[in-house]
Chain A
Amino acid sequence: MARVIETRKTRLLLVGLVLAHLVAISKQVERGGQSLLGQSLFALVAPLQAVITGTIRGLSGGWSGYVDLRGVHEDNRRLQQRVAAMERQLQEREELAREAERLREILQLRKELPLETVAAEVIAREGAPWSRTITLDKGSSDGVRLNAAVLSATGVVGRVIAVGPQASRVQLILDGQAGVGVRIERSRVTGILAGQPGMPTAVTGDLVMKYVPSLGDVVVGDVVVTSGLDRLYPAGLVVGRVRSATRGSGLFKEILVAPSAQFNTVEEVMVVRTPLPDDTMTQGVR
Chain B
Amino acid sequence: MRVFWTAVALLGALLIQTALTQIAPGHARILDPFLIVIVYCALTGGEMHGMLAGAAGGWIQDIHFGGSVLGLAGLTKILIGFAVGFASTRFHLIEPAARVLVLFLATAADAVIYVQLAAVFDVASYQLTPLGILFRAVVNAVVGVAAYEIVERRGRMGLDVRRRA
Contact = CB atoms under 8 A, between A and B. Distances in A.
A69 interface: no
Contacts, number: 45
Interface in A9-31: 9-10, 13-14, 17-18, 21-22, 24-26, 28-29, 31
Interface residues of A, number: 17
Interface string B120-157: 01110000000000000000000000000000000000
B11 interface: no
Interface in B48-82: 48, 51, 55, 68-72, 74-75, 78-79, 82
A17 B51 contact: yes
Nearest to B76: A21
Contacts of A22: 75
B82 A25 contact: no
Contacts of B121: 25-26, 29, 36
A26 B51 CA distance: 21
A24 B48 contact: no
Nearest to A7: B47
B69 A25 contact: yes
Nearest to B85: A10
12 contacts: A6-B48, A7-B47, A9-B48, A14-B47, A17-B55, A18-B75, A21-B71, A21-B78, A22-B75, A25-B72, A29-B121, A31-B122
Contacts of A7: 47
A21 B58 CA distance: 11
Given A14-B82, A17-B55, A18-B79, A28 B70 contact: yes
The 9 tightest CB contacts between A and B, nearest first, are A21-B75, A25-B71, A29-B121, A24-B71, A28-B69, A10-B47, A21-B71, A10-B48, A17-B78
Interface of A: 6-7, 9-10, 13-14, 17-18, 21-22, 24-26, 28-29, 31, 36
Contacts of B117: 25
A29 B122 contact: yes
B51 A29 contact: no
Contact of A25 (B55, B75, B78, B79): B75
Contacts of B55: 17
A13 to B, nearest CB: 7
A24 B69 CA distance: 9
A28 B70 CA distance: 8
Contacts of A31: 122
